[in-house]
Amino acid sequence: MSAPGGKRLLVVVRHSPYSSSLARASLDVALAAAAFDQPVSLLFVGDGVLQLQSGQDCDALGVKNLGRLLASLPLYDIEQVFVDAEAAQHYRLDLAAAPLPTRALDRDAMAELIRTHDHLLGF
Amino acid sequence: MLPPGAFDREGFLRRLEDWTPGVARQIAAGENIELSEAHWELINLLREYYREFDSSPAMRPLVKYCGLKLGAEKGRSIYLLSLFPGSPAKIGSKIAGLPKPDNCL
Amino acid sequence: MTLHTLNASPASAAFADCLRLLAAGDALLLLGDGVYAALEGTEPRRALDASGALLYLLQPDAAAAGVLGRIGSAAVVDMDGFVELSERFVRQLAWY
């Protein structure tokens, strides 16, 4: 995967959606990079995969719905979205029902993914 | 007419539920825009985007969303710029009563 | 190869997540409570050794924790050593 637009950024997302502001912060970085035409990929690991749970409803909590924000990532041309397959399996997550299309990776594939990016940002 | 206190310093509506078509006309007047049918189509689209994604769009996703929902003819930045000159995502969101887009250039 | 920094105890999710992405040939620098992951004979240390990553501890943090005598062959670096590591690895990823 070449990067004519700039260095390739991989944002590693490892926090559940509503435990802290970190989940939101990681998505904001990805959206900002995409808005500036920087190639950006996302990798959900550990508890971060919980952001991909379908049917999030934040009306009672009164915070922004991260599931719905995730659904807009393809409109930002963020289409390289990867998931820690073991974590998804650990939580019995139905990735087919996730807010956006993802690719599940095993441990070796995640290591390879990291090698193909120039910059890593972890949240 | 809403009082000045209903808006933040940049003129964005503080409370989404205060929005009405009349409020949209009030905000648009402040931007020297007279709302046509084409404007309303886009305002409704912006509000639909907000309901769907719980966020105001930056320019790139707004262009794509217009293309998807209104056809390729309208999914172009030049079309959006003709309706909301300068910064379509920002000014359009403002008139549609939405929060300021986070990643607004 | 990637330089990982871990600033969280081996009981944390940060440690578990870091371990999943740690590849052979990577380096892991332990900071703060992260230094406890290097304790010899513990399960976290066994997992780190099995990863094939190079293990480093930040001297002031390891000294404060009193673990310098319990980390076996793991390397200890001062702040200058930290800077050198950062220069040696193109990618860096922080776990906290």
Average pLDDT on A36-50 reads: 95
Average pLDDT on B5-28 reads: 95
pLDDT at C12 over 70: yes
B102/A68 CB distance under 8 A:
no
Domains in chain A: ranges and CATH = 9-122 (3.40.1260.10)
Contact C26, C2 (CB under 8 A): yes
C14/A14 CB distance under 8 A:
yes
pLDDT at B103 over 90: no
| Nearest partner of A26 among A46, A10, A6, A3, judged by Cα | A10
Best of B15, B46, B53, B63 to disrupt the A interface (most A CBs within 10 Å) is B53
> Residue B95 has what DSSP assignment?
H
Which ipTM did the prediction report? Answer: 0.91
Residue with tokens 């003129």: B11
| pLDDT for A123 | 83
| pLDDT for C85 | 97
In the Cβ-directed half-sphere of A120, how many Cα atoms lie within 13 Å? 26
Give the Cα separation of A80 and A59 in Å (integer).
Answer: 29
Residue with tokens 């959900």: A44
Contacts of B60 in chain A (CB under 8 A): 34-35, 75-77
Q: How confident is the model at residue A3 (pLDDT cuts 50, 70, 90)?
A: very low
Three-state DSSP at B89 gives helix
A45/C94 CB distance under 8 A:
no
> Residue A95 has what DSSP assignment?
G
Q: For domain B4-95, which architecture applies? A: Orthogonal Bundle (1.10)
Q: Does A94 touch chain C (CB under 8 A)?
A: no
Q: pLDDT tens digits, residue range C35-78?
A: 999 999 999 999 999 999 999 999 999 999 999 999 999 999 99
> What number of residues does chain C have?
96
Average pLDDT on A24-34 reads: 93
Give the Cα separation of C95 and A15 in Å (integer).
Answer: 11
Domain boundaries, chain B: 4-95
- Please indicate whether chains A and B are in contact, defined as at least 3 beta carbon pairs under 8 Å: yes
Number of H helices, E strands in chain A: 4, 5
**Yes or no: domain C2-95 corresponds to CATH 3.90.420.10:** no
Give the Cα separation of C58 and C32 in Å (integer).
Answer: 8
- Containing C48, the helix (H) or strand (E) segment is helix C43-51
Nearest 5°: phi and psi at B18? Answer: -75, -10
- Containing C4, the helix (H) or strand (E) segment is strand C2-6
Cβ neighbours for C83, distance < 8 A, ≥ 6 positions apart:
none
Q: pLDDT tens digits, residue range A67-110?
A: 999 999 999 999 999 999 999 999 999 999 999 999 999 999 99
Q: How confident is the model at residue A2 (pLDDT cuts 50, 70, 90)?
A: very low
Contact B84, B33 (CB under 8 A): yes
Average pLDDT on A8-28 reads: 94
Number of H helices, E strands in chain B: 5, 0
Domain boundaries, chain C: 2-95
B103 CA: distance to closest CA in chain A (Å): 6
Contacts of C20 in chain A (CB under 8 A): 45-46, 84, 86-87, 107, 110
A47/C21 CB distance under 8 A:
no
Contacts of A7 in chain C (CB under 8 A): none
Q: Does A40 touch chain C (CB under 8 A)?
A: no
Total beta-carbon pairs less than 8 A apart between chain A and chain B: 45
Average pLDDT over chain C reads 97
A59 CA: distance to closest CA in chain C (Å): 28
Four-CA torsion A8, A78, A26, A86, nearest 10 degrees? -90
- Please indicate whether chains C and B are in contact, defined as at least 3 beta carbon pairs under 8 Å: no
Give the Cα separation of C45 and C90 in Å (integer).
Answer: 25
Nearest-5° Cα angle at B27, B26 to B28: 90
What residues form DSSP beta bridges with C29? C5, C56
In this structure, of A57-61, A96-100, B18-22, B42-46, the range with the lowest mean pLDDT score is A57-61
Q: Does A105 touch chain C (CB under 8 A)?
A: no
C2/A120 CB distance under 8 A:
yes
The burial of B101, by beta-carbon neighbours within 10 Å (0-12 exposed, 13-18 middle, 19 or more buried), is given as: buried
Q: Is B66 a catalytic residue?
A: no
